[in-house]
Amino acid sequence: MATNQTAVEAGLPRETNVGSKRFADFDLLGKTYVVTGGARGLGLALAEALVEAGGRGRFLDAETTMRWMLTQLPVYCLDRAEEPDEEWGEAQDRVIPEWGGSLVYHQVDVQDTNYLEEVIDKIARERNRLDGVIAAAGVQQETPAAEYTADDANEMLKVNYTGVLMTASISARKMMEYKCQGSICFIASMSGSIANKGLISPVYNSSKAAVIQLARNLAMEWTPIKDDGTGGIRVNCISPGHIVTPMVTERMKEDPEVEKIWCRENMMGRLAQTSEFKGAALFLLSNASSFMTGGNIVIDGGHTAW
């Protein structure tokens, strides 16, 4: 069937050429990404999604093999653990070379701004580019507001807010240096938009609200393209609902009633799996979302809709 005939039958204008490759805007081949909080849980799942979108097919002759190697998609997972846990190793084993990507681990605490910048700078220099960042590093603490200490509050904000800001700022500078019109994605939370019943975490919740607002402000600064060619950097958020992660699993072991409370608070009656956020991350980190900046995608099973 001719291409134009296919376009007409699909209801597209007759002159439209849909080409042989569909959904090409989701293809990340040859691009470079950094994911903080990428050792496990949601950050790791999103890093794996980027790798899955990084390649097409196997090349057999020397010339095309070399071209394929140069367009590999490395996804750099940064986390404060000295070594990633078994979950990360399992994800690495699932990476198929023909996808054209790989997972690479670096031990970095986002609170150590100087070392964070050193690592991201090295990644950008090695690849001569930086196309996108997912800031997923975060910590949680359930403490009633009246019992919070200043030290505990400051410690959480150093990771959940300042760590996100510094990750974004360092990455944006690299994108500007290499003239990459990249994409930055913050992992916020539905708890940044609502008082989350059953989750007594006033500092965590407000830190996520701050991250959502931060994305809007950074989008205002960095998205417009300047005369020198810098800019064009999109900044958005994903706000998940309750997810089954290692941290949440431990919490449910301590108090089995928590799972029941959280499940009945959303329309689907269950917790999310980390894999259910991969599509949103791929959308935001790819050209498919080229007209989206300053936004916040809420994926919460309908929790905030009623």
Rounded distance, CA 272 to CA 301, Å? 8
Whether residue 226 has pLDDT greater than 50:
yes
Whether residue 107 has pLDDT greater than 70:
yes
**Which of 31, 105, 174, 208 does the annotation list as catalytic?**
208
**What pLDDT is stored for residue 255 in this prediction?**
87
Q: What is the dihedral of CA 158, 44, 273, 165, to 10 degrees?
A: 30
DSSP lists the bridge partners of residue 225 as none
Whether residue 131 has pLDDT greater than 80:
yes
Rounded distance, CA 184 to CA 289, Å? 12
Q: Considering just the CA atoms, what is the radius of gyration of the chain in Å?
A: 20
Per-residue confidence at 84, pLDDT binned at 50, 70, 90? confident
Across the beta sheet with 296-299, what order do the strands follow?
101-107, 73-79, 33-36, 132-135, 183-187, 234-240, 296-299
Say which range, 44-48, 52-56, 106-110, 147-151, has the weakest mean pLDDT.
52-56
Q: Which amino acid type is present at position 176?
A: M
Q: Which amino acid type is present at position 173?
A: R
Mean pLDDT (whole number) for 96-109:
82
Say which range, 42-56, 118-132, 276-290, has the weakest mean pLDDT.
42-56
Rounded distance, CA 205 to CA 200, Å? 9
**What pLDDT is stored for residue 197 in this prediction?**
82
**What pLDDT is stored for residue 221 in this prediction?**
98
Whether residue 127 has pLDDT greater than 50:
yes
Domains of the chain: 24-242+276-300 (3.40.50.720)
Across 69-100, b (16+ Cβ under 10 Å) vs e yields: eeebbbbbbbbbeeebeebbeebbeebeeebb
**What pLDDT is stored for residue 192 in this prediction?**
97
pLDDT above 70 covers a percentage of the chain that reads 86
Rounded distance, CA 214 to CA 224, Å? 16
- CA-closest candidate to residue 301, choices 273, 279, 259, 282: 273
**What pLDDT is stored for residue 59 in this prediction?**
33
Whether residue 123 has pLDDT greater than 70:
yes
**Which of 204, 226, 253, 260 does the annotation list as catalytic?**
204
Whether residue 239 has pLDDT greater than 80:
yes
Whether residue 85 has pLDDT greater than 90:
no
**What pLDDT is stored for residue 3 in this prediction?**
45
Rounded distance, CA 305 to CA 30, Å? 39
Q: Is 174 a catalytic residue?
A: no
Say which range, 94-98, 116-120, 287-291, 294-298, has the weakest mean pLDDT.
94-98
Rounded distance, CA 199 to CA 193, Å? 13
Q: Answer for the pair 245, 41: CB distance below 8 angstroms, yes or no.
A: yes
Q: Is 105 a catalytic residue?
A: no
Instruction: Kindly state the helix (H) or strand (E) to which residue 273 belongs, with its residue range.
Output: strand 272-273
Q: Which of 199-203, 243-247, 299-303 has the highest mean pLDDT?
A: 299-303
**What pLDDT is stored for residue 251 in this prediction?**
83
Q: Answer for the pair 49, 57: CB distance below 8 angstroms, yes or no.
A: no
Average pLDDT, the chain: 87
User: Token digits for 48?
Assistant: 């794996």
**What pLDDT is stored for residue 7 in this prediction?**
40
- CA-closest candidate to residue 139, choices 104, 113, 163: 163
Mean pLDDT (whole number) for 249-257:
86
User: What is the tens place of the pLDDT at every residue in 48-73?
Assistant: 999 988 733 333 344 443 444 445 67
**What pLDDT is stored for residue 179 in this prediction?**
96
**What pLDDT is stored for residue 57 in this prediction?**
31
**What pLDDT is stored for residue 159 in this prediction?**
97
